[in-house]
Amino acid sequence: VLQDDHKLSKEELEEKYTTSISKGLTSARAAEILARDGPNALTPPKSTPEIIKFLKQMVGGFSILLWVGALLCWIAFGIQLAQGVASAFDNLYLGVVLALVVILTGIFAYYQEAKSTNIMASFSKMIPQQALVIRDGEKKEVPAEQLVVGDIVEIKGGDRIPADIRLIFSQGCKVDNSSLTGESEPQSRSCDFTHENPLETKNIAFYSTTCLEGTATGMVINTGDHTIIGRIASLASGVGNEKTPIAIEIEHFVHIVAGVAVSIGVLFFIIAVSMKYKVLDSIIFLIGIIVANVPEGLLATVTVSLSLTAKRMAKKNCLVKNLEAVETLGSTSIICSDKTGTLTQNRMTVAHLWFDDQIYSADTSEEQTTQSFDQSSQSWATLSKIVTLCNRAEFKPGQENVPIMKRVVVGDASETALLKFAEVILGDVMGIRKRNRKLAEIPFNSTNKFQLSIHETEDPNDKRFLLVMKGAPERILERCSTIMINGEEQPLDRERAEAFQTAYMELGGLGERVLGFCHLYLPEDEFPDTYPFDTDSMNFPTSNLCFVGLLSMIDPPRSTVPDAVSKCRSAGIKVIMVTGDHPITAKAIAKSVGIISANSETVEDIAKRLNVPVEQVNKQDARAAVINGMELKDMTAEQLDEILINHSEIVFARTSPQQKLIIVEGCQRQDAVVAVTGDGVNDSPALKKADIGIAMGIAGSDAAKNAADMILLDDNFASIVTGVEEGRLIFDNLKKTIAYTLTKNIAELCPFLIYIIASIPLPIGTITILFIDLGTDIIPSVALAYEKAESDIMNRRPRHKKKDRLVNEQLAVYSYLQIGILQSIGAFLAYFTVYAEQGWLPNTLLGLRVNWEDDYYNDIEDSYGQEWTRYQRTYLQWSGYTAFFVSITIQQVADLIIRKTRRNSIFQQDLIHESPFFPFSRVQYWFVAMPYAILIWVYDEIRKLFIRQYPGSK
Amino acid sequence: MSKEEKKPFSQTMAEWRQFVYNPRSGEFLGRTAKSWGLILLFYLVFYGFLAALFTFTMWVLLQTLSGDIPKYRDRISSPGLMISPKPVTALEFYFNKSDSKSYAEYVSTLKQFLKSYDDSKQSKNIACTAGKLFEQNEDRAVKQACQFNRTMLGSCSGVEDDTFGYAKGTPCVLVKMNRIIGLKPEGEPHIQCSPKEEGKVQITYFPDGGTIDLMYFPYYGKNLHADYLQPLVAVQLAINSSSTKEDVTIECKIMGSPNLRNEDDRDKFLGRISFKVQMSE
């Protein structure tokens, strides 16, 4: 609930805050209040302690499963040690390795996460701010942090407002509230109570907004977290962070794999126990099954892939704060974009001109250096002179080498726009002003709504003075009796006045701010050289002037935005504009960037076209909708849902921060993945609520950047499109990576199952499995993250959050039951080959396990009558591991090849050359599984052929 | 997801039931019977094909192998030593010389083991020239085996003493060298055993000096050399009466042959073996 300080008189305020407007607080009293209220600063958002973040990495994902494995290992070690089994230490080491795997991948993920968070730290550094305050009857500079309620502060143009202030004195004060409300136009501030709503009234200036010009004195009424901005910030921190879609997908995947691991593990534990294996042995089997099933390296791979993409995106000016957000853009189905600063350039620019009874369009692009409209008319020469002279804005000195559009200007937004416009066309505005010396001036004020100045002319022979005036068009027109057409003064008759009205309405309808310009050459005889112009008594004519033309200004869209919006469209992403600005302006910008396409209409448009009341229009006919914040306030959630569903092109205007939040929630109710872009403090709650919040890097406020997941360093909406593309690509590629990784799990698992059931010597050891998972498989799976897109990923719809999963049934079944089995068979062939060639034929191996593993049985006979010691057998077993390992690796090469594409034949894609790392082994064993590797390839090519021939079948 | 409300349990159950069998679409576990049938058929064909392929490749593999000798013997370049009888647990003999049951297992194992060395079984074997390798012609389909008479084992042969000395407190242990195809020992291989602590046991070897005669080598494999008998060395231990009830560790090694290794750090049975004996009265 907001206070009503804006309604109180100065005396009441003094009383309420026990202060004095002239003398301020005493230092002692200020110190007391400071002690009571705390410093005037926003409490930074609570961050999770680093140790918690670290521990989270230790227990997330498969870690729990691996911890269980490690624990089982140590238990087995303990028991075996007590029993005096020689190989007990193997289990100790395996347990240590498993724990190390968890810890190292945890550290790695933590490091990656921390690295991307660290980039952010630089943003939160703020320069300490000073405030000019009256205390003990003296003006003092104190740090803004020490301001307290009741302090009297003085502000001037260029200052940041140090707290929420009730103005008690103001002179031409204007503030930029855009970071708070999203309005791009400067707001004037006076001491008058103008509106019930403290947010709208003119006598309150808000913390963290900037004073653009003028001076003011005010009393601090709120500090720190109690300020409006503080409340919005706390609203933002109250919004829970949603889990990112990729986090949900990975969780889903972890559940699948962990489910398979645990159920197979338990199943075979039971089988093993009922086959009269010792419980201890069964536990060891269980460990093997867990280790084989869990893709230990995968989460690290995912992290690497994501951070590689994050890096790539950073190069394209998308800075990702939260690694998982990399993918979120890819699944985004609705973008709620702020207007000011995101879609627009956030500076007023001259967009249209009207003179000689004709509308001209001006170039509004960011990098304009010339203007191409017809400048031959004499009227234009006259108009340009008024624009140049009747203007108080000035370039800050020392910017001669800076492009005109980038120069810093002292002055308000409209005057700045006019100054730059004139500079672009005429050049050296300051020189022209010098040659046409200004003699008198009435600055713009809200009562007369015009600005006027009187100049000497630069023609030495012309002794007349030139009076130039600009202001609200209707007010200017009132003061004119003639109008300039093609350089000739003509009487302003009704026809001309109507033409003016039409043009004025048309430009106004475009959401542009229109200014009228007129002039008058003062007759030499009445106004001689020495005439004393007095602006207070206005001893000069201010009527019967000559109307010259209109100029209209707008905060124009960025030139890259329309293209980006249409790309989002074709990518199936709905772009919704959510702004604090006026509906007309919002709609005009929406139309010009394509958020409302050229041929779609709102309900109001249809009503106007058919000439029927709005209520009679069938809402289904209107594709577009412009919703005012006031309407939104009265809407129920269902009504909002209806709008979101029925209209494809939506603009929300005059929205408050809370409403932005409501809109985002409404979109999320439609199962959409919502991206929100914004730069202001007012956007921060929505940024946080969104699945991915995107803040502007240049124009964005710190609050917005803190709440966002991603920052556009160049403030360019088009960068989002890049982000979407990268996000979709990484999702596709992670799918490939996972498919690739899952396949070999079966080939790692089968050995254990066959080992238990057929009692053959163990084909592959746990450590070897870890070596595949964490060694040879890492590089290829990361390489898959670099795959190029198979088809135009920007032409398909965003994935459905609940239907298009990262790991679905088909992927799991195909990897596990088809390619996985194929791979296992290939690997077993290699295993049997190694044993057979050393003298152990397959039939001898069956049922051999118990004797094979007996440490004291040192003369086991092989198929040829030779006898083997335990160590010789172990050594052979290791050779078997190597062969099995090599076969898996070789077949993983085939797997890598087939996984490079999901639909296209590999012959349609460029092959890049990877060389997974091979350990030493008898060279021919590399080739035993080769036919199976080739078979995998051929088989998958056939599958892809079918997929292409019969798309969409189950 | 914070927003997602928990579904009531009954609804979850209903959804599961729906999933298990959906009467409307006739879907069972999310698929129709026909779909399941096709899938089943596919996997039947697929796994059938894989099985056939695996069988075929295994067959090809076996075709490349000789039935007589394995392709490689590099994992067993040097033979291990082993003893008979082999106690069930570790290589530790525990027995009471006055309790025949305590060593019955050992005795019967020895008897069983030596059966193939009976003269009656060796009628086909020939007497070979001692001290020389008995290399046989390549084209000989069935290789001849050299005789190894039980009598060579002296008092451990079981001929005179059918308790192999266990009843007298002088147990016999047979030491044998693992068979390896094509192994040709050099020099004059013999078994040498020594107790870990000097003086606790007197050791007698049969044949004298624990010799392993070269005429028993090379071995040609189970298939070609069916009658082959590997040479044995019997070790008879006479444990000093003062050392009864104590563990006596005995280590046997193959000596006198440069190509038979007996000092491998990792393989404790390569060319050597150690076992414990504990005898009570």
Q: Give the tens place of pLDDT for each residue, A584-628.
A: 888 888 988 999 988 888 888 888 888 888 888 877 778 888 998
Q: Tokens 């129709």 label which residue?
A: B32
Q: What CA–CA distance (Å, rounded) separates A447 from A487? A: 31
pLDDT tens figures, A217-258: 999 988 888 888 778 777 776 666 667 888 888 888 888 888
List pLDDT tens digits, range B12-57: 777 777 777 777 777 777 777 788 888 899 899 999 999 999 999 9
Interatomic CA distance for residues A5 and A12, integer angstroms: 9
Question: Higher confidence at residue B2 or residue A742?
Answer: A742
B211-270, pLDDT tens digit by residue?
999 999 999 988 888 888 889 999 999 887 776 677 889 999 999 999 898 888 888 899
DSSP state of A697: T
Which residues of A lie inside 8 Å of B (Cβ-Cβ)? 240, 242-243, 248, 665, 668, 817-818, 821-822, 825, 828-829, 832-833, 836-839, 841-842, 856-859, 861-872, 875-876, 879, 931, 935, 954
User: What pLDDT was estimated at residue A832?
Assistant: 93
Cβ–Cβ under 8 Å, residues A905 and A945: yes
What Cα–Cα distance (Å) separates residue A458 from each residue in A387, A432, A541, A826?
16, 8, 21, 94
Q: Kindly state the average pLDDT of the residues A21-29.
A: 87
| Greatest mean pLDDT among A75-89, A314-328, A792-806, B202-216 | B202-216
Secondary structure class of A608 (helix, strand, coil):
helix
Is the model more confident about A933 or about A514? A514
Residue of chain A whose Cα is closest to the Cα of B265: A871
Lookup result for tokens 């390839």: A937
**Extended beta strands in A446-496, E state:** 450-456, 465-471, 480-485, 488-491
Confidence check: pLDDT of A925 > 80: no
pLDDT at A350 over 60: yes
Q: Give the residues across from A173 on adjacent strands.
A: A189
Q: Is B262 helix (H, G, I), strand (E, B) or coil?
A: coil
3-state secondary structure A119-170: HHHHHHCCCCCEEEEEECCEEEEEEHHHCCCCCEEEEECCCECCCEEEEEEE
Report the candidate in A319, A328, A299 with the shortest Cα–Cα distance to residue A118.
A319
Q: How does pLDDT run across A74-102, given as a tens digit for each residue?
A: 998 998 888 877 677 888 888 998 899 88
Tokens of A148: 């307290």
Question: A227: closest CA among A179, A263, A190?
Answer: A179
Give the SS3 label for residue B63. helix
State the DSSP H helix or E strand holding residue A668, giving kind and residue range, or none if neither.
Answer: helix A657-669
Q: Please indicate whether, in this complex, the C-beta atoms of A856 and B2 are within 8 angstroms of each other.
A: no
Q: What is the pLDDT of residues B103-130, one digit of tens each?
A: 899 999 999 999 888 888 888 888 888 8
SS3 category, B18: helix
The dihedral region occupied by A697, where left means phi > 0, alpha psi between -120 and 50, and beta the remainder, is: alpha
Residues of A with a known catalytic role: 338
Amino acid present at A359: I
For residue B273, the 8-state DSSP code is E
pLDDT band, residue A860 (cuts 50/70/90):
very high
**Residue A802 neighbours by CB distance under 10 Å:** 8
Q: Give the pLDDT band of residue A952 (cuts 50, 70, 90).
A: low
Residue A745 has which token pair? 């799990």
Whether the Cβ atoms of residue A518 and residue A476 lie closer than 8 Å to each other: yes
Say yes or no to pLDDT of A128 above 60. no
Count of CB pairs separated by less than 8 Å, A with B:
120
Query: What's the rounded mean pLDDT across residues A930-950?
Result: 77
Cβ-count burial A397-429 (b if 16+ within 10 Å, e if not):
eeeeeeebbebebbbbbbbbbbbbbbbbbbeeb
- Residue A54 pLDDT level (bands cut at 50, 70, 90): confident
Mean pLDDT value across residues A669-677 = 90
pLDDT greater at residue A118 or residue B18: B18
The predicted structure's pLDDT at residue A123: 42
Give the residue from chain B lying closest to A666, CA to CA.
B3
Give the pLDDT band (50/70/90) at residue A916.
very low
Quick one: closest CA in B to A831, which residue?
A: B58
Mean pLDDT of chain B: 86
DSSP at B269:
T
CA dist., res. A713 & res. A701, Å (int): 13
ipTM: 0.90
Angle (nearest 5°) at CA A553 between A548 and A559:
135
* Window B:57-86, CB contacts with A under 8 Å: 57-58, 61-62, 65, 68-73, 75-76, 79-82, 86
Using a pLDDT cut of 70, give the percent of chain B over it: 96
Closest by CA position to A235, among listed A568, A671, A686, A626: A686
> Looking at the predicted structure, is the pLDDT value of residue A503 above 80?
yes
- Lowest pLDDT segment from A485-494, A655-664, B29-38: B29-38
Amino acid symbol at A273: V
CA A818 – CA A514 distance, rounded (Å):
70
Alpha-carbon torsion, ordered A826, A828, A834, A839, to 10 deg: -130
CB distance B179–A867 less than 8 Å?
A: yes
- Is B92 touching A (CB cutoff 8 A)? no
Q: Are A341 and A317 in contact (CB under 8 A)?
A: no
Chain B residues within an 8 Å CB radius of A240: 2
The alpha-helical segments, DSSP class H, found in A160-297 are 178-181, 228-238, 245-274, 279-293
pLDDT of A822-837, one tens digit each? 899 999 999 999 999 9
User: Which residues of chain A are within 8 Å of residue B82 when distances are taken between CB atoms?
Assistant: 858-859, 867, 869
Q: What is the pLDDT of residue B244?
A: 67
pLDDT band for position A922 (50/70/90)?
Answer: low
If residue B36 lies in a helix (H) or strand (E), which one and from where to where?
A: helix B33-63
Q: A280: Cβ–Cβ under 8 A, 6 or more apart, which residues?
A: A76, A79, A80
pLDDT at A192: 83
pLDDT at A912 over 80: no
Res A828: pLDDT? 93
pLDDT at A836: 92
Residue A121 vs residue A47, higher pLDDT: A47
pLDDT band at A926 (very low <50, low <70, confident <90, very high): low
d(CA B264, CA B78): 10
User: What pLDDT does A810 receive?
Assistant: 81
Q: Which of A933, A925, A852 is nearest to A884 (CA)?
A: A925
Which of B54, B57, B70 lies at the smallest CB-CB distance from A839?
A: B70
Whether residue A127 has pLDDT greater than 60? no
Ranking A177-186, A420-429, A801-810, B28-37 by mean pLDDT, the lowest is: A177-186
